[in-house]
Amino acid sequence: MTDGEHPANGPHTRTVEAGYDRVAEAYLSTKNPEDPVTLAVLEDLASDLPSTAAVLDLGCGAGIPVTRWLAHRGYAVTGVDVSARQLELARKYVPEATFIKADMIDLAFRPETFDAVVAFHSIIHVPREEHPALLATIHRWLKPGGTFMATLTVTEFEGEDGDWEGWGAAMRWSHHDAETNRGMLRNAGFEIRYAEARTTSGTDGVETWLWVEASKPS
């Protein structure tokens, strides 16, 4: 399945890993567990899933709210994160799920393992030259008819903040604009149900993401 404890790839991901190890609690305090946009898309996802669905959550963080919501629906949820501290919190808040410490670009699941793969606010931290291969891999892991749900980005950016939010840790981001993201999804073989900008509000303010639901053709 995966080597589980593989060291993170390269300086980019080591910065992300160390950053989330340091800011895990501060980041969690910015989350709105009742965010209506997130809860609505999860309901939407659930309407397509069998009750015994296997769901992979890439970059699950502390598991609030997404991993917990999926686990409470009764799905067999596997959460993956590169940060040991994030996984420590996730295991505490979502004891029903299975967690793996890994860089998502190093994971190796069998083809057609999952009914759904979700990635909320996480692919933004993977070096963007890896995004086409990552999306193709996610497509391979999905069963025919399976669903990929993610928050991708509406603007392109590549860079690092030496003291993210004043939390005392560096962080890196690397992502594409909306049209490039839509093109990469299609090139990976997905049928896009929607890939549109939506704005959410959390305790740290208002954010706009490219909300994506895409399917692997049956």
Ligand X SMILES: C[S@@+](CC[C@H](N)C(=O)[O-])C[C@H]1O[C@@H](n2cnc3c(N)ncnc32)[C@H](O)[C@@H]1O
For ligand X, the binding residues in 120-159 under the rule CB under 6 A are 120-122, 125-126
The answer to whether the bond into 65 is cis (omega within 30° of 0) is yes
Say if CB 215 and CB 190 are below 8 A apart. yes
Min. distance of Cβ 144 from ligand X in angstroms? 26
| Contact set for ligand X, span 153-212 (CB under 6 A) | none
Task: Among 45, 56, 80, 94, indicate the residue that binds ligand X (CB under 6 A).
Answer: 80
Euclidean distance between CA atoms 172 and 46, whole angstroms: 32
Nearest-approach distance from CB 74 to ligand X, in angstroms: 20
Q: For ligand X, what does the binding mask look like between residues 83 and 102, x meaning CB under 6 A? A: x--x----------------
Beta bridge partners of 175: 157
CA 206, CA 54: separation in Å to the nearest integer? 32
| Cα(197)–Cα(154) distance, integer angstroms | 7
**Euclidean distance between CA atoms 176 and 192, whole angstroms:** 17
Phi, psi of 106 (to 5 degrees): -105, 0
Q: If binding is defined by CB under 6 A, does position 213 make contact with ligand X?
A: no
- By beta-carbon proximity to ligand X, the closer residue of 7 and 95 is 7
Q: For the segment 39-78, give every residue that binds ligand X (CB under 6 A).
A: 59-61, 66
Question: Which of 6, 172, 210 is CA-nearest to residue 105?
Answer: 6
Q: Give the nearest distance from C-beta 60 to ligand X in angstroms.
A: 5
Q: Between 120 and 190, whose beta carbon lies closer to ligand X?
A: 120
The residues binding ligand X (CB under 6 A) are 13, 16, 20, 31, 59-61, 66, 80-83, 86, 103-105, 120-122, 125-126
